[in-house]
């Protein structure tokens, strides 16, 4: 993918070429293969290019010179759209999907977005309308940030580019930071942790003209089915398999090597096996990339080995450790722009670095959990919803199944509930309450997909991949599959305490049963608690004992230090609040706040 940035000087002055150039330079990691700019009066556009196609230089201009575009992303159905547009009389000078967007906008106007299958953030200068038209893909796979500073509208793929302006994001957004510390969420609203810097929400557009910045407008919505039953298991499984196979097929397009992030879970394993099926007898060997750990509680090597044996794929893996984390933490924070809630992000960072040695594109299993009820915590709202609808016997069956398959998780979760509630008492202020699992399962999943969880994971994934100039593609977020899964009844997602029911059935005979029938949930995890009690403890104590830390308005520094020492001494359980507070402190120092 690429990096985009630009300016619309609303005060009538010409765009600042030095500013736009500085913004683009901060995105060089997103596009190391080239750069380009366009200036016309108050408008300046910049692009950093990651070469997936040979003739994709940007900014790109329409034939008549009235449109210019900078685009980050991929339109996976560009060949089909190109054929349709050619039949309508459009002539193409390149083979790129960027030019497809230009012609699609000429043909269908803003309605062109409904025809795209892909991931995108683009800004199109419409000379006839004298405006910038900005759009972000349905699920928010690609990022888009903006701010008003010095009389200008500024936009960029990453926050760090906006900070090139001396008046942009000078203060932390205290409300967002406090909410992150209390609840571990971010990217759940249009606000960021920088005061005055916003992100364009997924499935939204925004128009900017000399008259000012319009309100973001939604162009796509997800409707979640809250019913139970009524769909044949076999039909649902076949449809899911067909849609997912085609999603993978489209995401294998391109002129560069494609690999797969393989964690050993059912999602990434399904992607790897479908990838292998599509290779057929080509003789090409799929490349997969993984992490492993010496501690068997966090190591998924046996599942990775099972998938590698079944596909004949090559596999490279590495072992994240605290020595590497200490070396990488400052860059990881810089890459992400904002503090992050879990050290699991570091495992993904390491996988992307590993993959960058061999490929420019990777397939990733992100998005399946939120759509298919994959997190064990989703069992509670499912059972609650059944009870609310008076389906008592169904609720009992689900409760029994949940207890049988996930009893140890619920025991741990109950203990953690009290630990985390107490640890929130270490924080100062009254942040807005964020209850991820409130409501029925359909309400929870819709919120998780559009706001409370998936946008944050996509943020992490995009920055981790682009830090190493790698494009990450997510087949589970093909909008056709997303809409189909949203329309399925809830018992296709959870049944008898078993998560992802329809997916497990869809890949029967394809994904090895040792992986397909797994009931534990890991993914790219790290042994955070072990590290925080062991090799990272000296670094955390160093942070927690400084005058800077003690003087922050976000927490009671003395009590945080006391609680952390009690954890080190084995007197209290671990909870992620410790890491969130430590990460926020490191971010504030990097922020120079």
pLDDT, residue 53, reads 65
**Strand ranges (DSSP E) for 109-150?**
118-126, 131-136, 145-149
The verdict on domain 3-218 having CATH code 3.60.20.10 is yes
pLDDT, residue 524, reads 58
pLDDT, residue 282, reads 77
pLDDT, residue 452, reads 93
SS (H, E, C) 516-560: HCCCCCCCCCCCHHHHHHCCCHHHHHHHHCCHHHHCCCCECHHHH
pLDDT, residue 172, reads 97
Which residues have a Cβ under 8 Å from the Cβ of 41 and sit 6 or more positions away? Answer: 14, 15
Asked whether the beta carbons of 203 and 223 are under 8 A apart, the reply is: no
pLDDT, residue 410, reads 86
Which residues have a Cβ under 8 Å from the Cβ of 172 and sit 6 or more positions away? Answer: 193, 194, 195, 588, 591, 593
- Closest alpha carbon to 57 in 118, 15, 99: 99
% of the chain surpassing 70 pLDDT: 98
Please check whether the two domains, 3-218 and 233-376+420-526, share a CATH topology.
Answer: no
Which residues have a Cβ under 8 Å from the Cβ of 251 and sit 6 or more positions away? Answer: 74, 76, 258, 363, 473, 475
pTM beyond 0.85, yes or no = yes
How does DSSP classify residue 475?
G
pLDDT, residue 150, reads 94
pLDDT, residue 310, reads 96
pLDDT digits (tens, 9 = 90+) for 377-436: 999 999 999 999 999 999 999 999 999 999 888 888 889 989 999 999 999 999 989 999
Q: How is the chain split into domains, by residue range? A: 3-218, 233-376+420-526
Q: Which of the residues in the chain have pLDDT under 50?
A: 593
Please give the CATH topology (third level) of the domain spanning 233-376+420-526: Rossmann fold (3.40.50)
Find the angle CA(147)-CA(150)-CA(152) to the nearest 5 degrees. Answer: 55
pLDDT, residue 436, reads 93
Q: Count CB-CB contacts under 10 A for residue 11.
A: 9
Asked whether the beta carbons of 566 and 533 are under 8 A apart, the reply is: no
| β pairing state of 494-495 and 498-499 | antiparallel
pLDDT, residue 490, reads 97
């Amino acid at each position: 993918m690429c990096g985009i940035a630009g300016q619309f000087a609303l005060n009538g002055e010409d765009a600042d070429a030095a500013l736009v150039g500085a913004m683009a330079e901060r995105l060089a990691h997103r596009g190391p293969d080239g750069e380009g700019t366009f200036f016309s009066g108050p408008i300046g556009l910049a692009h950093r290019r990651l070469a997936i196609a040979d003739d994709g230089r940007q900014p790109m201009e329409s034939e008549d010179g009235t449109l210019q575009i900078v685009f980050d992303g991929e339109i996976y159905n560009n060949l089909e759209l190109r054929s349709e547009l050619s039949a309508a009389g459009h002539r193409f000078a390149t083979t790129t999907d960027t030019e497809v967007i230009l012609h699609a906008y000429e043909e269908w106007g803003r309605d062109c977005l409904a025809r795209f299958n892909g991931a995108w953030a683009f800004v199109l200068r419409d000379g006839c309308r004298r405006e910038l038209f900005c759009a972000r893909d349905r699920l928010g796979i690609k990022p888009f940030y903006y701010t008003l500073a010095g009389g200008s509208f500024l936009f960029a793929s990453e926050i760090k580019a906006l900070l090139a302006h001396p008046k942009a994001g000078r203060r932390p957004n205290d409300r967002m930071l406090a909410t992150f510390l209390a609840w571990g969420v971010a990217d759940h609203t249009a606000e960021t942790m920088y005061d005055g810097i916003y992100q364009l929400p997924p499935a939204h557009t925004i128009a900017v003209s000399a008259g000012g910045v319009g309100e973001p407008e939604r162009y796509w919505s997800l409707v979640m089915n809250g019913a139970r039953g009524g769909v044949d298991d076999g039909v649902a499984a076949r449809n899911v398999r067909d849609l997912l196979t085609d999603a993978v097929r489209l995401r294998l397009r391109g002129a560069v090597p494609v690999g797969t992030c393989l964690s050993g879970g059912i999602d990434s394993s399904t992607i790897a096996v479908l990838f292998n099926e599509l290779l057929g007898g080509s003789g090409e060997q799929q490349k997969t990339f993984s992490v492993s750990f010496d501690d068997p509680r966090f190591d998924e090597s046996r599942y990775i080995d099972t998938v590698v044996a079944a596909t004949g794929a090559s596999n490279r893996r590495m072992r994240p450790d605290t020595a590497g984390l200490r070396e990488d933490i400052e860059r990881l924070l810089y890459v992400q722009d904002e503090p992050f809630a879990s050290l699991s992000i570091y495992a993904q960072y390491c996988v992307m670095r590993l993959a960058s040695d061999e490929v420019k594109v990777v397939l990733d299993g992100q998005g399946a959990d939120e759509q298919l009820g994959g997190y064990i915590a989703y069992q509670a709202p499912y059972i609650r919803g059944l009870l609310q609808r008076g389906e008592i016997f169904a609720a009992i069956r689900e409760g029994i199944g949940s207890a049988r398959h996930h009893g140890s998780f619920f025991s741990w979760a109950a203990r953690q509930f009290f630990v985390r509630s107490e640890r929130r008492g270490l924080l100062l202020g009254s942040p807005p309450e964020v209850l991820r699992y409130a409501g029925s399962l359909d309400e929870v999943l819709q919120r998780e997909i559009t706001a409370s969880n998936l946008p944050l994971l996509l943020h992490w994934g995009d920055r981790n991949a682009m830090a190493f100039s790698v494009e990450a593609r997510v087949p589970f977020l093909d909008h056709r599959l997303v809409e189909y899964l949203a329309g399925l009844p809830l018992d296709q997602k959870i049944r008898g305490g078993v998560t992802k029911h329809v997916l497990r059935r869809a890949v029967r005979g394809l994904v090895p049963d040792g992986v397909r029938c797994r009931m534990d949930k890991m993914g790219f995890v790290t042994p955070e608690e072990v590290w925080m009690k062991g090799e990272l403890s000296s670094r955390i104590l160093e942070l927690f004992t400084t005058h800077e830390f003690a003087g922050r308005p976000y927490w009671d520094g003395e009590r945080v230090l006391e609680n952390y020492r009690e954890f080190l001494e084995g007197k209290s359980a671990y909870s992620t609040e410790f890491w969130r507070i430590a990460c926020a402190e490191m971010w504030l120092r990097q922020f120079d706040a």
